[in-house]
Amino acid sequence: MKEPSSPDRNPIYEQWARLGKALASPKRLELLELLIQGARTVEKLAQLTRMSIANTSQHLRVLHAARLVETEKKGLYVTYRPGDPAVSDLLRSLRRLAETRLAEVQRIAQGFAESQHGFEAVDQRTLARRIKEGSVVLLDVRPHEEYLAGHIAGAISVPIEELAKRMKALPHRRGIVAYCRGPYCLLAVKAVELLRARKFRAYRLEASVQDWRARGGAVVSGDAK
Catalytic-residue membership of 185: no
- Helix (H), strand (E) at residue 139: strand 136-140
Q: Report the candidate in 216, 173, 138, 43 with the shortest Cα–Cα distance to residue 34.
A: 43
Q: What's the distance, CA 194 to chain centroid?
A: 21
Q: Which of 178, 180, 187, 205 is catalytic?
A: 180
Bridge partners of 40? 80
Is residue 138 a contact partner of residue 155, using CB atoms and an 8 Å limit? yes
Tell me which DSSP letter residue 182 carries.
S
Under 8 Å CB-to-CB from 189, ≥6 apart: which residues? 116, 119, 204
Any idea what the Cα angle at residue 35 is, between residues 30 and 40, rounded to 5°?
115
Is residue 167 a contact partner of residue 198, using CB atoms and an 8 Å limit? yes
What is the set of active-site residues? 180
